[in-house]
Amino acid sequence: MSGGREIEDLLAALGEEPGDELSMLLVELRWLIVKHPIAARAVFRSLVAEGRRFAATDEGARWRRRLEASPLVRRGCAVWEVATLNMLDEDGSRALPTQLIDAFCRAVARSDLEAALAAHAERGNDEADA
């Protein structure tokens, strides 16, 4: 996914109304990453490190070979990329994902920013009242 497309997808995702359970889950995951990027990246890095340690064992190597050939895992990777917009990585030198900063800059540059923020706030108030 190119950086520009990721930003477009993020901005669209932040304002979308989920229509089904999967969409709701993906939107919630994106919001958690955006709201808590440092924590989300820390959890992600911990899971990757644990997975690599397990993969270094004999049993882990067997599982890795099985999973690498799995169509289900390939599909899971596609869902992961859509859900996270590739904002999570193992690079601990950045305090925030650069995609988040790019998305913020694009959002600030929107000509309809005030209207978009007002619409989002109104949706949030409607949800709080429900």
For the stretch 20-38, pLDDT in tens is 787 778 778 888 887 888 8
User: Residue 10's domain spans which residues?
Assistant: 3-89+96-129
Question: What pLDDT is attached to residue 125?
Answer: 62
Q: In the chain, how many domains are there? A: 1
Is 2's pLDDT higher than 50? Answer: no
Let me know: does 93 contact 38? Beta carbons within 8 Å.
no
Is 7's pLDDT higher than 50? Answer: yes
Question: What pLDDT is attached to residue 56?
Answer: 96
More confident call, 59 vs 86: 59
Contacts of 70 (CB under 8 A, 6+ apart): none
Is 11's pLDDT higher than 80? Answer: no
